[in-house]
A and B are shown apart, each in its own frame.
Chain A
Amino acid sequence: MTERNFLASVGRTFLDFLAVTGRIVVFALAAIFYALRPPYYPRLILRQMVDVGYYSLPVVGLTAVFTGMVLALQTYTGFSRFAAENAIANVVVLSVTRELGPVIAGLMVAGRIGAAIAAEIGTMRVTDQIDALTTLSTNPYRYLVAPRLIAGFTMVPLLVLVADIIGVFGGFLVSTYKLQFNAASYIQRTVDFLQTQDVAAGLAKAAVFGFIVALMGCYNGYHSRGGAQGVGAATTYAVVSSSILILVFDYVLTEAFFAR
């Protein structure tokens, strides 16, 4: 009997998971469908782009510079045991452009933008503002969701491009000032080792991560219920689910781009 209850519980959880996944996919498809059809809202899209891109620059830049610095230090610690310190520049530029730039920027944006989107749309839901939009002949997917998805999809790659540059610069700072590497040869090794494919793959990941963050923020906010507590829960779900999905999709995309 206990065994049967356990299996039933596992089955129910799995079915719930499938149902939620299906609802998120339908939500995303509806948002994309309405985003492609007029009327368009360029003013709203621009505002979201500024929110997602420009205002996230400080937090993404700060995390990127320290990530690059720590990476250089740790690589030195490990590689010096094998007299391979010269590979620091290679490791830093490869790690930052392929993995750490997109993932760190994605997680930071999830915390900053995903939470803000879920809280704003969630508050609009529980105060009937989304119903009010509908009664004013305005489609909420087109007006609220589409501009945020477009902003996430387009601005996170730009953020990651900046994060890549700052991250590599952080590694350069530690290597040249603390570890006494020659600045010119460090830069030369970085440039020689860097390939377009590394940066492009990182930016493609960033576009997917930006879409995920905006989608989970919008989905959880749109379906929030029950006042302040519901909005708080929606915000938590948005950040947690988008963070997990970023790490899952990071693996999937790495496998797709780089697996031999």
Chain B
Amino acid sequence: MSGDPKIAIRGLRKSFGSKHVLQGIDLDVGVGESLVVIGGSGTGKSVMLKCILGLLQPDAGSIRIDGSEVVGLSAGEREALMRKFGMLFQGSALFDSLAVWENVAFGLIQGRGLKRAAAREIALQKLAAVGLGADVAALRPAELSGGMQKRVALARAIAAEPEIIFFDEPTTGLDPIMADIINDLIIKCVKDLGATAISITHDMASTRKIADRVAMIHNGRIIWAGLKSEIDRSGNPYVDQFIHGRAEGPIRMEVRAR
């Protein structure tokens, strides 16, 4: 990574009661870079993402976007900062009371004050960019398949042409073919926008496809970060166990009989 980072995280900590989820995360993401954060369930990937987005307040540490500190921003400043971000949620998080096009145009109408007609035009363009026709625009999210919902969520994430896009488990729950289609769409959309992307996933096929760089989180810390091409010779036993999906190794999953 060269130049000043787009996102710089230092010493990020977050606990829920006695559970210390993030224990000092240090991470840089360069401008236009696609970083994939891998790690087991409950290791703090989603919590880290929510701290960057301001959905959770960190207990300690610093998060800088374009060199400016964003921890502790006021609600108004946070709303303005959100215009830089797009987010694809794991379960899509589409608004089920709104039509598909209204979901895609939501940020344009509510966040940027665009007229509904103009926002609808942009929404249709973005739906086309993710391979969905105008016939889908008037449907409700509940009428779509899981893969189509993911595409709509992707269209919503890129509708306002954000500088930074987050992808939370973008391929979870999809069949391998649809997962690959979503991966291709993510690569295309991120490159077209020239955006910086952070994805969190367990899916190594997805990681190998969409990442420029990979970081692994374990026990609330980044234990390895490097180029995608370096991941198979990281020399880190935790990374090796994770990318090969071995039950045996230094990572012990918590499995309790209930």
A residues sitting closer than 8 Å to B (CB atoms) are 39, 124, 127-129, 131-132, 134-139, 143
Contacts and interface: CB of A to CB of B under 8 A. Distances in A.
Contact of B86 (A129, A135, A143): A135
A237 B86 CA distance: 34
Contact of B107 (A39, A124, A127, A137): A137
B87 A132 contact: yes
Contact of A135 (B82, B90, B113): B82
Given A128-B89, A129-B94, 14 more contacts: A39-B113, A129-B95, A131-B50, A131-B87, A134-B54, A135-B82, A135-B87, A136-B107, A137-B80, A137-B111, A138-B111, A139-B75, A139-B79, A143-B110
B1 interface: no
A138 B108 CA distance: 11
Contacts of B194: none
10 nearest A-B pairs in the assembled complex, by CB-CB distance: A137-B111, A136-B107, A128-B93, A132-B93, A135-B87, A137-B82, A138-B110, A128-B89, A129-B93, A137-B79
Contacts, number: 56
Given A128-B90, A143-B110, A135 B85 contact: yes
B53 interface: yes
Contacts of B91: 127-128
Interface string B178-206: 00000000000000000000000000000
Nearest to A128: B93
A242 B53 CA distance: 34
B106 interface: yes
Nearest to A123: B96
Interface in B70-119: 75, 79-80, 82-83, 85-87, 89-91, 93-96, 106-107, 110-113
Given A137-B79, A138-B106, A143-B110, A132 B95 contact: yes
A98 B225 CA distance: 70
B111 A136 contact: yes
Contacts of A143: 110
Nearest to B157: A135
A135 B159 CA distance: 12
Contacts of A139: 75, 79
A127 B111 contact: no
B55 interface: yes
B83 A137 contact: yes
A138 B85 CA distance: 13
Interface of B: 50, 53-55, 75, 79-80, 82-83, 85-87, 89-91, 93-96, 106-107, 110-113, 156, 160
B89 A131 contact: yes
Contacts of B85: 135
Contacts of B156: 136
B93 A136 contact: no
A125 B122 CA distance: 28
Contacts of B94: 129, 132
A138 B79 CA distance: 7
A127 to B, nearest CB: 6
Nearest to A41: B110
A144 B203 CA distance: 35
B195 to A, nearest CB: 14
Contacts of A131: 50, 53, 55, 87, 89, 93
B140 to A, nearest CB: 14
B89 A132 contact: yes
A99 B4 CA distance: 68
Contacts of B79: 137, 139
Contacts of A39: 110, 113
A135 B53 contact: yes
Nearest to A138: B110
B204 to A, nearest CB: 24
Nearest to B56: A131
Contacts of B93: 127-129, 131-132
10 contacts: A128-B89, A128-B93, A134-B54, A134-B82, A135-B87, A136-B106, A136-B110, A137-B80, A137-B107, A143-B110
A124 to B, nearest CB: 8
